[in-house]
Structure 1
Amino acid sequence: MEPVKLPFYVKFPCILLSVICLTYIFYIAKDIFTQVLMAFLFAVLLVPIFTFLNTKIKFPRYLAAITCVLLFAAFIIGILAFISYQVTDMANDFETIKKNANAFIIEVHKFIKGNFNVSIGEQKKYINTVTKDSVKNGTGTIGSAILSISDILLDSTIIPIYTFLFLLYKDHFILFLAKLIDKENHLVLKDILSQIKVSINKYIVGLILEMIIVSVLTSLGLWIIGIKYFILLGLITGILNLIPYIGILIAGIITVLASLTGSSETSIILGILIVNIIVQLIDNNILVPLIINSKVEINAFVSILGIIIGGTLAGISGMFLAIPLLAILKIIFDRIESLEPWGYLMGNDMPSKFIWRIRKIK
């Protein structure tokens, strides 16, 4: 039986309706989907280690999968332990931070009074009003914080389990996909799966490399201007930089607060801002195009749009997952003839010249 060929004006609304339905399903079940997709990315990253343990060292599949998950968990726990140790050390300077923060706030009050003619009393009155409004919503804020902590604890438990299961049943899932399509398309499926593995591996390794470089550059800059916990703050900046747009802002605020352990001078805070700006310029103009964009081959417009949509649907997790999911979609679109134009739209090919060729009808 030959497939039914629909005209474009029928096909496009069907595609659009399908996208809307899938997006809505993802939105209402985002907590489940984000956990599964995170585990899938980690599993793809760990596949080379799993294959080495299973085929070269002859580990049983269960043991190889457990070993991979434990190694990955040990790496994450090691980073968190270092950060926790440094944060505990920083907590000893709380009184100094409080004293310098008060001195800095007084300087800000004086600056606003001198440049905007707003008295210190009016400024404090406005701050008290905002504080009272925040206290009224305190119950909701505490409830949200408790809910967020419970979500983190759940994710830290369930994502390693999903990752283990993805590794364990890797071949089972591939055989399932093979059974879904005709045998003559198995070569295309094999090509898609291999390209997805390569693309995701390169992307995640690129993210890790970018994180290391940003951490080193930030630590070096903070050391030069005399910040006490420069290694910790550089590492936090590198990690938060993985979160598009808002990560670097959060890192900047944390760095400014930590700088108050040593001094409340405005020059130090200005130095921190300069360091962050220089590192971001290097990251956005050199590291991202060289390390990240070259791995996924997604143009900037689609990347930004995908990150915004991902953030709207699933928050920070959605923003993090947006780029690898777009890369997977592009790989699939490029290898299916009817979807190839959409793959081209997502790509970063820049034709030097395009000329419409119109045949005259006599």
Structure 2
Amino acid sequence: MVRILRGLAHKYFSDDEAVILFLILVAGTLFVVLFGAMLAPAIAALIVAFILQGLVTKLVKLGVPETPAIYGVFLVFLGVLFAFLFGLLPLVWTQVTRLAGETPRIIREFQSYLELLPQQYPQLVSKEAVDTLYSQLSTEVGNMTQWLVSFSLSSIPDLVALLIYLVLVPIMVFFFLKDKSVLLGSIARLLPPQRPLMVKIWHEVNMQCANYVRGKALEILIVGGATYIGFKVMGMPYAALLSLLVGLSVVIPYIGAAVVTIPVVVIGLFAFGWGPQFIWIMVVYGIIQGLDGNVLVPLLFSEVNNLHPVAIIVAVLFFGGIWGLWGVFFAIPLATLLKAVFWAWPVKGMAPPVSDARIG
């Protein structure tokens, strides 16, 4: 066992800089795990600034001075933020409450469909199974309705925290953009003066994660916007709510699209029945999903290393189990970061792996 461990250490940690980098990664992970909730506004601001920095860089390459580029991008960010808070968010919340009010009618209609199944397929579906399913569904809907009713009182602390986010995050985003060089220089002074391995890994991680995070932000806007326009034109109820869900579903490839299809089908079915209108809505939805997977994703992520579907599912399960919803949301960027570190990590006696710049 000692010989095996010694061989692994010689293979992966023969470079002193690799040992230092490993300790930094471990310390950083522990810091986030222990103090992540406390520093959530700073982490959120750092992620937003990371996304916006790509726009600043593009403007600078086009000849715009850096300072006007930073102020311009920040003003665009504030405009999008206010549009979301005072435009989309109230509309979505109105549709959520309206959907909760119509849920009993949907449940009654769903029950009538369920009651026909034992008669039509007696060998596959029993009346006891239908009653059990209906009872569980009624309980879940009752819990959701009760949560919505009590939301205004029980969520006061959450609203206060949200107000703190709305003040702190934009301020920190501005300073992260404005003082990027100063902050990075301060961090660099804490690292060894000769750090070729860290520089190599930083460039790899920066390229992979920056392309992925910025590409996903743009994909959410495009897919969500296209879905809203399509559903609104087709007269689909709760278009804003469904388009927001469809847009956010692209964060979790494969799984998100499968899960979000369920409410789209259910609401479309109960709104229009088995008719031409429902079929056309499903066609529009299918076209959007097809263009996203076959055109938009390859276009936005042409420079990002492909993650195998199994790796994506494992990352969602692992990070979701650790950090809940936020872990699910950031599972793919974290997995991309780990893969970027793996590609750049020095292995004694082996040639560095060739990066595959395709996306599946």
TM-score, normalising length: structure 2: 0.65
Percent of pairs with identical residues:
19
The answer to which of 33-42 and 213-222 deviates more is 213-222
* Equivalent residue in structure 2 for 1:175, among 169, 174, 185: 185
The residue identity in structure 1 corresponding to 2:175 is L
Q: Is the 8 A contact 1:217 1:279 kept in 2?
A: yes
Q: Is the 8 A contact 2:115 2:130 kept in 1?
A: no
Structure 1 position 307 matched with structure 2 position 316: yes
The residue that corresponds to 2:53 in the other structure is: 47
**Alpha-carbon distance in 1 for matches of 2:92, 2:269:** 14
- Closer, same or farther in 2 for the Cα pair 1:221/1:94, shift >3 Å? closer
**Alpha-carbon distance in 1 for matches of 2:330, 2:349:** 23
The residue that corresponds to 1:118 in the other structure is: 127
Residues 307-355 of structure 1 show CA distances to partners (whole Å, capped at 9, x for unaligned) of 332222222322333333444444455445359979849x6489xxxxx
Give the secondary structure class of the aligned counterpart of 1:76: helix
* Equivalent residue in structure 2 for 1:210, among 214, 219, 225: 219
Q: Is the 8 A contact 1:199 1:327 kept in 2?
A: yes
Root-mean-square deviation (CA), in Å? 5.2
- Closer, same or farther in 2 for the Cα pair 1:240/1:39, shift >3 Å? same
Shift of 1:75: 0.8
The residue that corresponds to 1:356 in the other structure is: none
**Alpha-carbon distance in 2 for matches of 1:39, 1:195:** 22
* Equivalent residue in structure 2 for 1:235, among 243, 258, 273: 243
Q: Is the 8 A contact 2:205 2:340 kept in 1?
A: yes
Structure 1 position 317 matched with structure 2 position 326: yes
TM-score, normalising length: structure 1: 0.65
**Alpha-carbon distance in 1 for matches of 2:39, 2:84:** 26
- Closer, same or farther in 2 for the Cα pair 1:310/1:157, shift >3 Å? farther
The residue that corresponds to 2:171 in the other structure is: 161
The residue that corresponds to 2:110 in the other structure is: 105
The residue that corresponds to 2:16 in the other structure is: none
Unaligned stretches of 5+ residues in structure 2: 14-18
- Closer, same or farther in 2 for the Cα pair 1:75/1:349, shift >3 Å? closer
Give the secondary structure class of the aligned counterpart of 1:228: coil
Residues 273-320 of structure 1 show CA distances to partners (whole Å, capped at 9, x for unaligned) of 6665664455445543x1455332143244443333222222232233
* Equivalent residue in structure 2 for 1:73, among 75, 78, 82: 78
Unaligned stretches of 5+ residues in structure 1: 1-5, 351-362
**Alpha-carbon distance in 1 for matches of 2:133, 2:333:** 47
Q: Is the 8 A contact 1:96 1:262 kept in 2?
A: no
Shift of 1:42: 1.7
Q: Is the 8 A contact 1:200 1:324 kept in 2?
A: yes
Q: Is the 8 A contact 2:205 2:337 kept in 1?
A: yes
Give the secondary structure class of the aligned counterpart of 1:105: helix
Shift of 1:269: 6.2
**Alpha-carbon distance in 1 for matches of 2:247, 2:356:** 27
**Alpha-carbon distance in 1 for matches of 2:231, 2:161:** 33
Shift of 1:10: 4.5
**Alpha-carbon distance in 1 for matches of 2:318, 2:100:** 42
